[in-house]
Chain A
């Protein structure tokens, strides 16, 4: 296993179109996270899953955004009716939830979305 993978790496779309991104975490990791990074800023937390359950959603995640992790493995992030403000790098991370202590998050290469 070589780490977290994300597809596509780049997506260009027109305003109003729907887009879907995929994240494949490290195989034994039971937690999966989505972050958004706009130009010149640090990543901002969007949502996370433990197994297939979505446990937290940021206020940044408007109704146009939906994330799923149906079988507790890969996850998809869908944006409906894209807006130019959605242009950003979308980062996925995964970690192993242990019984104690912090569990390191491993990041994928990201999907860069450009909305024209």
Chain B
């Protein structure tokens, strides 16, 4: 069955430290992959996406992610966390032509 798994429901980092959020998917065919961010009581904002081409994808706000087909992973990183990065992050996968399947989300808190 096709699925999306985010490892770790909560991540706490110090300001200036590396942010690493993990996402794995289960599919026999490489899907399209996305990371979204959600601030409290708001909708989803696209951080970055992988559809085809280069496997290292750069997004907004200094985030990037690498698609590793052999590991079926699409982990999100940011070299230096900022207080404004505190939010909930969702990995999403498009297994077919229309719907997105989301992971359960990872809440990021940033310590001063």
Q: Please give the residue numbers on chain A whose beta carbons come within 8 Å of chain B beta carbons, in ascending order.
A: 4, 6, 31, 33, 35, 40-45, 48, 55-56, 91, 93, 101-102, 104-110, 112
Residues of chain A within 8 A of B101, CB atoms compared: 45
Question: Which are the 5 A-B pairs with shortest beta-carbon distances?
Answer: A42-B102, A45-B99, A107-B44, A107-B43, A109-B43
Query: Please, how many residues of chain B have a CB less than 8 angstroms from a CB on the other chain?
Result: 24
Q: Tell me the minimal C-beta distance from A114 to chain B in angstroms.
A: 13
Residues of chain A within 8 A of B99, CB atoms compared: 33, 45, 48, 56
In the assembled complex, 6 residue pairs joining A and B whose CB atoms fall closer than 8 Å, in A order, are A42-B4, A43-B90, A44-B102, A56-B99, A91-B43, A102-B49
Q: Which of A31, A48, A104, A108 contacts B43 (CB 8 A)?
A: A108
Residues of chain A within 8 A of B43, CB atoms compared: 4, 6, 91, 107-110
A-B contact count (CB 8 A): 56
Q: Please give the residue numbers on chain B whose beta carbons come within 8 Å of chain A beta carbons, in ascending order.
A: 4, 9, 32, 36, 41-46, 49, 51-52, 90, 92, 94, 98-105
Q: Which of B41, B44, B51, B103 contacts A102 (CB 8 A)?
A: B51
- A104, B47: Cα distance in complex, Å: 12
Q: Tell me the minimal C-beta distance from B50 to chain A in angstroms.
A: 10
Contacting pair B32 A102 (CB below 8 A): yes
Contacting pair B98 A40 (CB below 8 A): no
Which residue of the partner chain B has the closest CB to A56?
Answer: B98
- A56, B95: Cα distance in complex, Å: 15
Q: Tell me the minimal C-beta distance from B94 to chain A in angstroms.
A: 6
Contacting pair B98 A41 (CB below 8 A): no
Q: Which of A4, A42, A104, A112 contacts B104 (CB 8 A)?
A: A42
Which residue of the partner chain A has the closest CB to B33?
Answer: A102
- A77, B42: Cα distance in complex, Å: 19
Residues of chain A within 8 A of B92, CB atoms compared: 42
Beyond A56-B98, A102-B94, whether A41 also contacts B105 by CB under 8 A is yes
